[in-house]
Amino acid sequence: MESRTVTENLNEAPLGLFHLRAVLTAGMGFFTDAYDLFIIGAALVLIKGLWHPSHIMVGLLGSTALIAAFVGAFIFGRLADVLGRKTIYGFEAVLMALGAIFSAFAPNILWLLVARFVMGIGIGGDYPVSAVLMSEYANTRDRGKLVSLVFSMQALGLVTGPIVALTLLASGINADLAWRLMLGLGAIPALGVIVLRRRMPESPRYVAQVRGNAKGAAESLKEFAGRSFGSGDAAEPIQKLSLSAMLSQGRYWLLLLGTAGGWAVFDYAYYGNSISLPLVLKSVAPHATDIASIAWSLIIFAVAAVPGYVVAFLTIDKIGHKKLQWIGFLLMGLAFGVIGIVPGLTKDVLPFLIIFGFSYFFAEFGPNTTTFVLAAEMYPTSVRTTGHGISAGVAKVGAFIGVFVFPLLNAALGLNGTLLITFGFSMIGLLLTLLLPEPTGRSLEDLATDPNAEYRQVQNG
């Protein structure tokens, strides 16, 4: 064992409690991200009745956090490669907490837009750091499962938002106070995340391979995991790939087209539908109460989305990360296509909920999970958060466009026409997925050396 590197031992380590600690620490941020991003959909139902914003302003309120996430993912992603993951881990949660608090006290739309922008920078920063830290702690065999588990905490945030909204509305609280509480409560988990993350040690792969301190990696990992992964005496491969060197190589542009492009077209479809879901359901059943439309949102999330997350992390390493993504794009897109083509489907609540829920299942059991995972695997350690940050940032541009234009397209084309466009984006995502290698069963170091090598599956048993 002493002659093996810390990284080699980490790649072959069985699942342990330290993996679970890392999942919970990183995953709590994604619970907060999901709550903060999607609660605005329920809040907008109330804000529209109070402030009467235009269609354009509704689009901006729903999407401002997403364009800010583009900025945050780029900045924090790059800083995490230059300064270290732990150095900035937690600062993004501070921005999320401040954004939630400022949102709750917004006296007007402009204030609320600024508050959501601050929050979005923190959310964007959370994507590359959390994903990469988990991938770098993970063993090879279970990497997809562990990174998916982090992202699956988003499911709890998706469900918690409508529950909070329903509770506040059912309690009889006036609409102005209700939407402020919906947005402000997002500060509570963010503050807890700050404490957890400052206690998490630096990524052992980063310490060993970028800083060249294998002994330090072994010591910090032993302290965190409670067991030895070697002495750190064995030489580690040192990685010093710069951003300019990365961007000068065609293979990384191809990888970015696959990870960033596929993620962007997915986020266009997913966030446009999800954040606007209460408004979508209002258009399907215009006479439904606010409580009814939010309750239907909760049903879709709980019955379709949550099981999708669960099945994804249970099967991703068996099916294959790339394969699961294109399957998800295909079936999610077909659901949108059916809604767009079949006459009258958007006027009948039950069939609409069933098919729309089908699309949600295959979004989670597919590209919503895998885009997050794949971008954390494809790049060398020295530029891994940079690559993930670029991918997540570009994705949030797609999300911003989707959320911003959804109310406008819905007003101009109706729900059928809007979802037909979403079908087209899903098919583009499927094609972009084919540009990526299959990373399942391959170590991060193997992928960094030759990402296009023949797929080698680690036997599961």
Per-residue pLDDT of 346-403, as tens digits, reads: 788 788 888 988 998 999 999 999 999 999 999 999 999 999 999 999 999 998 888 8
The reported pLDDT for the residue numbered 449 is 79
Q: What is the pLDDT averaged over residues 50-72?
A: 87
The reported pLDDT for the residue numbered 1 is 39
Q: Does residue 263 surpass a pLDDT of 90? A: yes
Q: Please choose, from the candidates 189, 187, 179, 87, the residue with its C-alpha nearest in 3D space to the C-alpha of residue 133.
A: 87
User: Between these two residues, 16 and 279, which has the higher pLDDT value?
Assistant: 16
Please give the domain boundaries of the chain with CATH numbers for all domains: 6-449 (1.20.1250.20)
Which tens digits make up the pLDDT trace of 81-130? 999 998 888 889 999 999 999 999 999 999 999 999 999 999 999 999 99
Q: Does residue 137 surpass a pLDDT of 80? A: yes
Share of the chain above pLDDT 70, in %: 95
Binned at pLDDT 50, 70 and 90, residue 240 comes out as confident
Distance (Å, rounded) from C-alpha 426 to C-alpha 422? 6
**Residue 72 neighbours by CB under 8 Å, 6+ apart:** 92, 95, 120, 121, 122, 123, 124, 125, 126, 393
**Residue 363 neighbours by CB under 8 Å, 6+ apart:** 266, 269, 270, 305, 308, 328, 332
The reported pLDDT for the residue numbered 275 is 65
The reported pLDDT for the residue numbered 460 is 37
How far is Cα of residue 433 from the mean position of the Cα atoms in its chain? 17
Q: Does residue 141 surpass a pLDDT of 60? A: yes
Q: Does residue 318 surpass a pLDDT of 80? A: yes
Q: Does residue 457 surpass a pLDDT of 60? A: no
The reported pLDDT for the residue numbered 324 is 97
Which tens digits make up the pLDDT trace of 426-455? 999 999 999 999 999 999 999 887 666 543
Q: Does residue 278 surpass a pLDDT of 70? A: no
The reported pLDDT for the residue numbered 287 is 73
Q: What is the pLDDT averaged over residues 312-334?
A: 96
Task: Give the helix ranges, DSSP H, for 171-289.
Answer: 175-184, 187-198, 204-209, 214-225, 243-247, 250-256, 262-275, 277-284
How far is Cα of residue 143 from the mean position of the Cα atoms in its chain? 16
Which residue bears the tokens 């999300």?
A: 399
Which tens digits make up the pLDDT trace of 208-233? 999 989 899 888 888 888 888 888 78
Which of these ranges, 91-95, 286-290, 297-301, has the smallest mean pLDDT? 286-290
DSSP state of 53: -
The reported pLDDT for the residue numbered 182 is 94
User: Over the chain, what is the mean pLDDT?
Assistant: 88
Which tens digits make up the pLDDT trace of 399-413? 888 888 887 888 888
Which tens digits make up the pLDDT trace of 148-203? 999 999 888 888 888 898 888 888 889 899 999 999 999 998 988 888 887 888 89
Q: Is the pTM of this model over 0.75?
A: yes
